Structure 1
Amino acid sequence: MYPGPPLSRPSLLLALLCSTPALADDLFLDSQPLPEILTATRLKQSPAAVPGSMTVLDSELINASGARDISELLRLVPGMMVGNISGNQAAVNYHGTNASEARRMQVLIDGRSVYRAGLATVDWSDIPVAMEDIERIEVFRGPNTVSYGANALMAVINIITRSPANSHGTRIKVTRGQRGISDWYASQGTGWDTGDLRLSLSGQEDDGFDSDRNGADYRDSRRLNRFSLSVSQMLNEQQSIDWQLSAKEGSNQRPYTYRPVFSGITSAGYNSDVIAKDYAGSLRWNLDINPDHSLYIQGSAQHWDRQQNWRACDAEVSFSPELTRLWQLNPNYAELLARHMDNFTGSGAPPGSAAEQALANQVLTQWKDGAKRTVCGDIDQSARESRYDLELQDTLSLSDGVRLVSGLNYRYDRADSETYFNGTLDDSTWRAFGQLEWRATEHWLLQGGAMFEDSQLSGSSLTPRVAVNYLINPRHGLRAVYSEAIRSPDMFENNVNWSYRVTKLSPTAYGQPSAQYFVKTRGPGNLDQERMRSRELGYNGFFADLGLNLDVKLFYDEISGMISEPLRNNQYIASNSNSSRFAGTETQLDWRLNPADRLRLTYAYVDAEASNPLDEQLTARHSGSAGWLRDWGQGWSSALFYYGSSALNGYRFERVDTRVAKRIPLGKGSLELAGVLQQRLDDEPTTFVDNNYDSHHVLYFSAELTF
């Protein structure tokens, strides 16, 4: 189905451009303004001058896709592997690594990180921003610790919302469809002499997947509501203030996955759903000192609250103090005993040390004396995380050919969970960064940057990047990039203190209404940072007469010291003993054939090798997308998208999305009616065996009124 790496035509094009630079200058110069990229280096740059690979998903593309989630939009990014843990938990990685733990990308909303440092994840379904509020998404495809610090190991996704100045008026949108889809959005924008404001409210709901591997309901629906307020205020000709407030609340169903450790115990099958609440606020002061010098100071605060309470049943011996001590002495021995208690009741403790056998025989005696009876109790697996961030950035043009961006950052993270941390854990991080751009000649652009970072829990690091861009002309450039990046182990991986205190036991265990479960997990506390070395060769060009944007990338990335062990409370032993290598090519093409038609193609070939098989789970050797957007006139428009990947966690994925819309003028406003049909072309589960739909297609409709 997929061709080999598409290098022949782009390679021929590059050879022609390089061999005839003078001809290229004559052919491709035009008077159109150059587009600007913001995310790559924190400097405004043209796509041809960026020291790496960029993908920009603009508002037209976002709207035409019909996507209801940010994770679905990222299928349009070459090399981005998008899957699902469940119906309300997306898994997104660039090039791959563990399918269920997306730990190695930085995700920003208007420059504010939403990567949860405590539990090493991005909650894609719970990001407190509505699709309708997004202006564009800029994706830096490659390591960018230099600009955004640890966790920007493999890519950076910056979600940029619409400016309040471009949001005047009223918008109301309602979406309904199969699989329980029920979304709504409402916003009001206004302005005054020196400022602008946008207030938006939105909600989202769906049923998730239909059935698990056994045909039973998977319990993975979601429901959420969001609030967002964005204000821009000019203080004078040189100063302005931007501030934002956002909140989100909702519930995510979770399948009941607890399985009793001891034989003969029947699980009660209680719900273990998550109540999710997010709050965020930011304030940014901008100062334009002169046309060549500007700075800003930005402060933000965020809070994630995940409340998960459920009830579980197991044998009374689960809370035996002797079994707890045995687990602390030898987890393997304790688990062997616990899972085969009846087998050892007659023969005595399994072979082991004298201390192990003594404790085991005490536990077996308790088992024979009645501790095999079933007891049930409440478990609180809630977690709360907070982040406070303060950043100063200075941008200076030193001369016509030299620009410098530099800055300082302080971040404080705090995680609170009785289950995961036995209380509270915090971390403080200081950063200093700089990026220098030097236009040595008309065609040669040299760039270098570094980030120094010091974390209370992870130590210090220095990560550099150097790049050489040869600009055939301002719209066409070749690039060679070498960069290093790190990922700091998060609080969970390094400092987990995982145990369950079960309350409201019925009947009581050893005469107590609450007790500690015997399994306890401790983090190593001395994990090092993961380190990545990346090499990239590429080309970016815009053929103005053809309306054609083209980007080609060749890459070779190596990650050492990887922490690949799954995060589970069962002999979880984290280490830096893993490594991965990714090599291949990516191509993206965006072609406006005429004012009515736009074509978009992406393709990625990724060859991955990993010492731990888990780190190859979410790497598809071949993946890509194809899109055709068409304006038919008279208010009619359509879009057709194809998404495909050869294997995500062993399962092929192919889908075609079709959107048809009609815009009806209504005085100074308009009404847009649209329908979206998503059709799966394969018969595979989605990423995991329990993610199944009863039907291969889903249909939903929307109505949007603006005035």
Structure 2
Amino acid sequence: MSAEKISPIYLYRGILLHARYGAYALLLLAATQAHAATGGEEAVLLDDIPVVLSASRLSQPVNEAPVAVTIIDRQMIKDSGAWDLSEIFRLVPGMYVAYHADPYFSADSTVAYHGMVTTTTSDRMQVLIDGRSVYSTLFGGVNWSDLPIVLDDIERIEVIRGPDSASYGANSYSGVINIITRHPTETQGKMVSVAAGNGRKEAIVRFGTKNGALSYRLTASVREDAGEDANIKNATSAFTFWTLNKYDNKTIQNLNLRADYQLNSADTFELQMGYNGGPREVGEFNNVSAISRKAENHFEMLHWRRALEGGGELSVQAFHTVERVYASLKDSDGVSNGDAILRRYDIEVQHTFSAFQDARLVWGGSVRYDQTYAPYYLGVGDNQYLFGDFPYHLRRFFGNLEWRARPDLIFNVGGMMENNSYTGTDTTPRFAANWHFQPGHTFRFSHSRATRSPSVYEKVYDAYWRGPNFYPGLPEMQTERVKSTEVGYMGKLGKVDVDFRLFYDDYSQLIDVRNKRSAAGGNLNAGKAIMRGYEMQLKAPLTDKTRLIYGLSGGGVKSDNVNGVVYSDSLPKYSQSLLLSHKFNDQWSGSLAGYQVAQTKFNATDYNPSENRGYFINGNKRLDARLNYQFKLAGSQAECSLIMQNLGDARYFEYRHDNEVPGRVVRLNFRLDL
């Protein structure tokens, strides 16, 4: 299947088939545009447009960025009542989140933009913390519980909704998450926070200070998390395997340092260091499980910035990360060595300047070296793969030109040239135009190409299948590719900020190495799919004390599902989220967060009608609440929060029919700023 076989009429008809949700979104867009055309005192320029830093590597108003961006600010994080970092992304239109879906390596959550999840690792999205890639080398994706960060140290999160390999290279295939931490000057003094509830406990201590040109912050935390309930309440089968949840208890110990030094008026040095460790459970009943498993992860990053004349900047960033797991794994064959060590060394240079009048250019390059050691996971049943580190070399050159051709018309043209030791050289260009066709109303068109490189696990399997005992004539594995086109609108309808987009993604060369039929079929890159849909995000200050944030998405995936790898229907027909917050007075505030997802189909192996497990996993919805009280304690600012997740005690499944989320979870949080 290719994009050429699907006409534009088919694309838009497919979008409109998603019942009233797409129709409502399109009607709202039409009403907004009509409102803009009437002129009048309400058709004004937006004076509160947020600035994004991640879309093109340039600082831009969000309505001039070349891609759609969702901004999650500190208040949204608080109001959501989220416990895990991964839970926050339920607020992003088009994002699929499944609680602790992975039972095999980390018992961690799945976070995937636009579905397309054939494994729990969600390996088609790039994740950054202050520009540092935390995309894992072994399976791809991110181990969310292993990140050395606490929610309270996050300033904001920018989520790029769509491919962005032009800015961040391969693996920015479906989207990018950039987590931006708070500057040390914003976290001065001491802070203590403790939380306790059913199955969850946490303590956080933070100290920040400033000494002349040096400011720094040190945060330490420990968390006990009992994870899912031991037994599945609404089991789909009486077979014991399907009545028990996975082993996912974990202890998370974090230590994080950020220091910023203003050398002079032009030069700034930033140092970051972090540690994450502790015992973790992993595995399922009667399957591979960890007798003992302990994580030890750390990173070090140094970032130098020099401010240049005319608003330009020169920066150099270097970082080193280590993800280490000590594990003894038990299965039907006995006890195995489940240790894994993933190392990364990365240095990047970036230069921003005014290329000519009304134009800005950012360009630069980076080199990376990864090492991966994981005897159990990379053994593939053959001793020649059991020992040694698997190296990965990456070299990149990138650039983006922003040109304001007219006051109301902005072009972004850019791309990335990337060479890696697995698949060679790829180029991923992007073109975008943003037209402010009326004051306060913007139309965006963009087209880009993106790639995803194989993970170490996939590369080792590639060599395994092409070995002399299997299919030596099998073509060498290549990168996954996508051609993405979007039409977007941003504007203001009264007090409501509207962000709407239509997207059309043509995926090709999709990788599958876990299914022998892919190798036997003669192509590990045989997968193809067409995805089309819509997204809408609304932000509205209903009053000066009440804020509403609403997200809606819908669409569909069509594929020939070659070799039995099912991509069709892997995108929920619709999903929506609602965050309503209200400040009652100077002391009391509260919020409600609601989520709904249509039925999903993600894991082909889960389909077994004889055990009462159908092709689809039923849709679900839930409601969370937070009540907050602020007060003074011995002259210091204090607050207590009562947080209730899954108020209705809904028992539903995410990702698989044996992955039942926890029921109602209540916790009390106390915080004191000294």
Q: For this structure pair, what is the TM-score category when the shorter chain's length is used for normalisation?
A: 0.7 to 0.9
> Letter of the aligned partner of 1:397 in structure 2?
S
Kindly indicate whether the alpha-carbon contact (under 8 Å) linking 2:49 and 2:63 is maintained by their aligned counterparts in 1.
no
TM-score (norm: length of structure 2)? 0.85
Q: Does 1:64 align with 2:79?
A: yes
Deviations 1:109-139, CA, capped at 9 Å, x for gaps = 0000000123222101222111111111100
Distance 1:584 1:313 in 2: 44
**Deviation (angstroms), 1:183:** 1.3
Check if 1:458 corresponds to 2:415: no
Counterpart of 2:74, as a letter, is S
Q: What residue number does 2:504 align with?
A: 556
1:651 partner SS: coil
CA contact (8 A) 1:476 1:541 kept: yes
* Corresponding residue number in structure 2 for 1:532: 482
1:7 to 8, 25, 30: 25
Range 611-620 or range 432-441, more displaced: 611-620
Aligned to 2:536: 587
Change (3 A) 1:36 1:271: closer
Task: Please list, as runs of the form range in 1=range in 2, the aligned pairs for 1:335-346 lying within 5 A after superposition.
Answer: none
CA contact 2:36–2:441 (8 Å) conserved in 1: no
Q: CA deviation at 1:571?
A: 8.9
Question: Cα–Cα, structure 1 residues 486 and 86, in superposed 2: closer, same or farther, change >3 Å?
Answer: closer
Task: Measure how far apart 1:14 and its partner are.
Answer: 4.8
> Is the deviation greater in 467-476 or in 273-282?
467-476
Give the aligned residue type for 1:148.
Y
The 1:633–1:440 alpha-carbon spacing in structure 2 relative to 1, beyond 3 Å, is: same
- Rounded Cα–Cα distance in structure 2 between residues aligned with 1:488 and 1:523: 21
One of 619, 633, 646 as aligned partner of 1:652: 619
Contact preservation (8 Å) 2:290, 2:327:
no
Could you give the per-residue CA deviations for residues 76-118 of structure 1, whole angstroms, max 9, x where no partner exists? 0000011131584111111111252301000000000000123
Q: 611, 626, 629: which one pairs with 1:662?
A: 629
- 1:76 has 2:87 as partner: no
Say if 1:591 and 1:286 are closer, same or farther in 2 by CA, change over 3 A: same
Q: Output the CA distance in 1 between the equivalents of 2:519 and 2:535.
A: 39
2:249 matched residue in structure 1: 221
Q: Is the 8 A contact 1:496 1:522 kept in 2?
A: no
| 1:255 and 2:275 matched | no
For the 8 Å contact 1:293–1:396, the answer to whether it is kept is: yes
Shift of 1:566: 3.9
**Counterpart-to-counterpart distance in 2, 1:657 and 1:540:** 29
Q: Is the 8 A contact 1:301 1:389 kept in 2?
A: yes
Q: Structure 1's 287 and 271: CA in aligned 2 closer, same or farther, altered over 3 A?
A: closer
Residues 564-615 of structure 1 show CA distances to partners (whole Å, capped at 9, x for unaligned) of 3448999999810001211111000011122200011100012112333543
8 Å contact kept, 1:99–1:614: no
Task: Tell me the distance in 2 between the aligned counterparts of 1:34 and 1:400.
Answer: 23
Residue 347 of structure 1 is matched in structure 2 by: none
1:138-161 Cα shifts (integer Å, max 9, x gaps) = 000000000000000000000111
Distance 1:307 1:539 in 2: 49
Deviations 1:486-509 (A, max 9, x none): 11112210224999xxxxxxxxxx
What one-letter code is carried by the residue in structure 1 that aligns with 2:250? R
Shift of 1:255: 2.7
> In structure 2, what is the equivalent of residue 598 of structure 1?
547
Q: Do the aligned partners of 1:390 and 1:411 also contact (CA within 8 Å) in 2?
A: yes
1:202 alignment counterpart: 221
TM-score using structure 1 length? 0.81
Counterpart residue number, 2:393: 428
The residue matched to 1:12 in structure 2 has which SS? helix
Residues of 2 paired with 1:2 and 1:227: CA distance?
48
1:401 maps to 2:343 = no
Amino acid at match of 1:395: T
Q: How many percent of aligned residue pairs carry the same amino acid?
A: 29
Shift of 1:26: 7.3
For this pair of structures, how many residues does the alignment match? 610
Mapped to 2, the partners of 1:659 and 1:256 lie a distance apart of: 33
Extract unaligned runs of 5+ from structure 2.
1-17, 379-384, 602-616
Structure number with greater Rg is 1
How far apart are residue 378 of structure 1 and its match?
A: 2.8
Q: Distance in 2 between matches of 1:617 and 1:71?
A: 23
**What's the counterpart of residue 638 of structure 2?**
671
Counterpart secondary structure, 2:584: strand
1:541 to 461, 466, 491: 491
Kept in 1: contact 2:206–2:217 (CA 8 A)? yes
Letter in 1 for 2:21: G
Give ranges in structure 1 of 5+ residues lacking alignment: 260-268, 315-376, 500-518
Question: Mean alpha-carbon deviation: is it higher for 143-152 or for 200-209?
Answer: 200-209
What is the identity, as a one-letter code, of the residue corresponding to 2:432?
A
Could you tell me whether the CA contact under 8 Å between 1:48 and 1:474 is conserved in 2?
no
SS in 1 for 2:78: helix
Q: Which amino acid aligns with 1:658?
A: A
Q: Take 1:521 and 1:547, find their aligned partners in 2: how far apart are those partners?
A: 62
CA distance in 1 between counterparts of 2:56 and 2:245 reads 46
Correspondence for 1:622 among 551, 554, 574: 574
Question: How many Å separate the matches in 2 of 1:639 and 1:523?
Answer: 59
Q: Which residue of 2 aligns with 1:164?
A: 184
Secondary structure class of the residue paired with 1:62: helix
Amino acid in structure 1 at the alignment position of 2:306? L
The aligned residue for residue 337 of structure 1 is none
- From 280, 283, 286, give the equivalent of 2:302: 283
Shift of 1:64: 1.0
Counterpart Cα distance in 2 of 1:2 and 1:659: 32
Separation (CA, whole Å) in 2 of partners of 1:24 and 1:39: 34
- 2: CA distance between counterparts of 1:572 and 1:162? 51
Contact in 2 for aligned 1:241/1:283 (Cα 8 Å): yes
* Residue pairs, 1:94-109, within 5 angstroms: 94-97=113-116, 98-109=118-129
1:200-226 deviation digits (Å, cap 9, x = unpaired): 001222211112543446322111100
The letter for the 2-side match of 1:534 is: S
- Match of 1:340? none
Query: Paired residue for 1:446?
Result: 411
Task: Return closer, same or farther for 1:233/1:576 CA change in 2, 3 Å cut-off.
Answer: same
- Map of 1:338 onto structure 2: none
Classify 1:522/1:224 alpha carbon distance in 2 versus 1 (closer, same or farther; 3 Å).
farther
Aligned mates of 1:432, 1:599 — CA distance in 2:
41
Q: Is the 8 A contact 2:462 2:513 kept in 1?
A: no
- C-alpha distance in structure 2 between counterparts of 1:469 and 1:17, whole Å: 19
Q: Report the counterpart of residue 132 of structure 2 in structure 1.
A: 112
**Is the CA contact (8 Å cut-off) linking 2:342 and 2:371 kept in structure 1?**
yes
CA contact (8 A) 2:190 2:205 kept: yes
Match of 2:584 in 1: 632
Question: Is residue 239 from structure 1 mapped to residue 204 from structure 2 by the alignment?
Answer: no
* 1:416-459 superposed Cα distances (whole Å, 9 cap, x missing partner): 12231422110111100010011111111111101000011111
Match of 2:402 among 434, 437, 461: 437
Q: Decide which of 319, 335, 346 is 1:378's aligned counterpart.
A: 335
